């Protein structure tokens, strides 16, 4: 590590969720229609498919995970094969099949077995972008969630992590050298408003270009009463999740990528079966500790379909943002190709399309996130 990077780490802020006031506006990538963003991404994907002879080659990057984590995999798949080291830095959790008959006694027993107590976070085993993710504070809330959840699908119950700091750490294992590295790090900031002692939360949200993105959405509910009036200067966190779809802010956290953090994340990835490419979503107390490879807890892991979310930093220009996205896709194909040479087989295109359709249908049926 260079001396300059060491100095940068020493100067890291200890308040992980402090949002600069000049970043309330959405960046250019955030404002672009999704279909328009997808055009250059799909064009590059098709070019890489022709070059490597497979449209679904990145699915071979993590051969023990459904589709390599492109789409349709369950969150519990990443946890199930973990060794003791990886489990020690992963939030306590359990899976519950929603058969429509789980009573309070059964649910309480499952929670005790996993070392869980309220509050907890409940989320679909099969999901994306925080859809269906909710904090629940008691058994009544958990039962209400299950009533609204699709029958026959699995719900993940997980320890609620109160830390304000959240990061997405993108990991890749070099197919040529076998060395693990961090290729990107995004800092997530939760949607929030600042009170003025006069306006309600609803009015503050309506006046905030970022927070109002989720207003009126049937897929999200604010986690605080809309009619409450925060005191002047009071910062109000609006959501359990930090996704940009609900007004969260992503910042490029590359300055926190250190040799210590690389070693820590590489050790976790190597304690999972055949995991070579994906993003670790973690909570942390101190950015300085995170840079030292300490004090983080894994919430969930995403595979080959993970987004390079640091590209959505409002300070990142359009060209630089797409350059980051394109580099991630190239590497996904390269690692998939290396895994194919080692004997892994990519998923078929039709099978991948079926998984995608299933996931889209289920997301539409999930309870709203909060």
The pLDDT tens digits for 111-128 are 999 999 999 999 999 999
Burial letters for 332-368: b for 16+ Cβ neighbours within 10 Å, e otherwise? bbbbbbbbbeeebebbeeeebeebeeebeebbeebbe
Q: For residue 28, what pLDDT band results from cuts at 50, 70 and 90?
A: confident
Q: Does residue 61 have a pLDDT over 80?
A: yes
The pLDDT, as a whole number, for residue 13 is 46
Q: Which residue has the higher pLDDT, 28 or 23?
A: 28
CB 190 within 8 A of CB 340: no
> In the chain, helix, strand, coil percent, each to 5?
40, 20, 40
Q: For residue 295, give the nearest of 180, 188, 170, 167 by alpha carbon.
A: 167
Rounded CA-CA distance 151/146 in Å is 8
The pLDDT, as a whole number, for residue 14 is 41
The pLDDT, as a whole number, for residue 27 is 79
Q: What value does the mean pLDDT take over residues 263-281? A: 97
The pLDDT, as a whole number, for residue 4 is 42
CB 83 within 8 A of CB 77: no
Rounded CA-CA distance 82/93 in Å is 13
CB 237 within 8 A of CB 223: yes
The pLDDT tens digits for 42-57 are 999 999 999 999 999 9
Burial class (CB in 10 A: 0-12, 13-18, 19+), 254: middle
pTM for the whole thing? 0.93
Three-class secondary structure of residue 296 per DSSP:
strand
The pLDDT, as a whole number, for residue 32 is 86
* DSSP summary character for residue 58: G
Q: Does residue 21 have a pLDDT over 80?
A: no
The pLDDT, as a whole number, for residue 22 is 46
State the average pLDDT for the chain: 92
The pLDDT tens digits for 294-309 are 999 999 999 999 999 9
Q: How many residues does the chain have?
A: 370
The domain covering 92-160 belongs, at the CATH homologous superfamily level, to ATP-grasp fold, A domain (3.30.1490.20)
Q: Which alpha helices (H) appear in 275-316, and where do they start and end?
A: 287-291
Q: How far is CA 71 from the centre of its chain?
A: 14
Q: For residue 1, what pLDDT band results from cuts at 50, 70 and 90?
A: very low
Residue 25 falls in which region: left (phi positive, over 0), alpha (psi -120 to 50) or beta: beta
Q: Which residue has the higher pLDDT, 263 or 216?
A: 263
Task: Write the DSSP string, 111-133.
Answer: HHHTT--SSEEEEESS--TTTT-
* DSSP summary character for residue 304: T
User: CA torsion, points 232, 233, 238, 241, in degrees to nearest 10?
Assistant: -170
- List, in sequence order, every beta strand (DSSP E) within 64-103: 93-97
Spatial CB neighbours of 33, under 8 Å, sequence gap ≥ 6? none
Q: For residue 120, give the nearest of 370, 361, 344 by alpha carbon.
A: 370
The domain segmentation of the chain, as residue ranges, is 1-91+163-190+239-346, 92-160
Q: For residue 122, give the nearest of 244, 278, 359, 300 by alpha carbon.
A: 300
* % of residues, the chain, pLDDT over 70: 94
């Amino acid at each position: 590590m260079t001396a300059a990077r060491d100095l940068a780490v020493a100067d890291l802020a200890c308040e992980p969720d402090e949002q600069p006031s000049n970043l309330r506006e959405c960046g250019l990538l955030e404002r672009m229609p999704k279909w328009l963003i997808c055009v250059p991404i799909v064009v590059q994907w098709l070019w890489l498919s022709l070059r490597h002879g497979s449209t679904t080659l990145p699915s071979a990057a993590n051969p023990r995970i459904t589709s390599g984590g492109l789409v349709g995999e369950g969150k519990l798949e990443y946890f199930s094969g973990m060794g003791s080291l990886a489990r020690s830095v992963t939030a306590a959790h359990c899976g519950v099949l929603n058969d429509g008959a789980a009573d309070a006694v059964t649910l309480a027993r499952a929670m005790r077995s996993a070392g869980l107590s309220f509050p907890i976070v409940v989320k679909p085993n099969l999901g994306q972008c925080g859809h269906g993710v909710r904090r629940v504070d008691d058994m009544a809330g958990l039962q209400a969630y299950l009533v609204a959840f699709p029958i026959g699908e699995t719900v993940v119950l997980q320890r609620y992590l109160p830390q304000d700091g959240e990061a997405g750490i993108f990991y890749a294992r070099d197919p040529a050298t076998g060395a693990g590295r961090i290729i990107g790090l995004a800092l997530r900031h939760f949607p929030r408003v600042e009170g003025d002692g006069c306006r309600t939360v609803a009015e503050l949200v309506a006046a905030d270009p970022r927070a109002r993105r989720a207003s009126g959405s049937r897929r999200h509910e604010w986690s605080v009463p809309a009619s409450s009036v925060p005191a002047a200067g009071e910062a109000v966190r609006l959501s359990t999740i930090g996704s940009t779809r609900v007004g969260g802010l992503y910042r490029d956290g590359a300055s926190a990528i250190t040799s210590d953090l690389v070693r820590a994340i590489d050790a976790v990835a190597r304690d999972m079966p055949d995991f070579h490419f994906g993003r670790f979503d973690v909570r942390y107390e101190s950015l300085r500790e995170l840079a030292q490879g300490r004090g983080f807890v894994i919430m969930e892991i995403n595979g080959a379909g993970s987004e390079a979310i640091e590209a959505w930093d409002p300070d990142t220009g359009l060209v630089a943002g797409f350059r980051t996205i394109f580099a991630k896709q190239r590497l996904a194909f390269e690692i998939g190709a290396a895994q194919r040479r080692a004997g892994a087989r990519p998923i078929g295109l039709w099978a991948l399309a079926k998984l995608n359709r299933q996931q889209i249908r289920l997301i539409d049926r999930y309870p709203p996130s909060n």
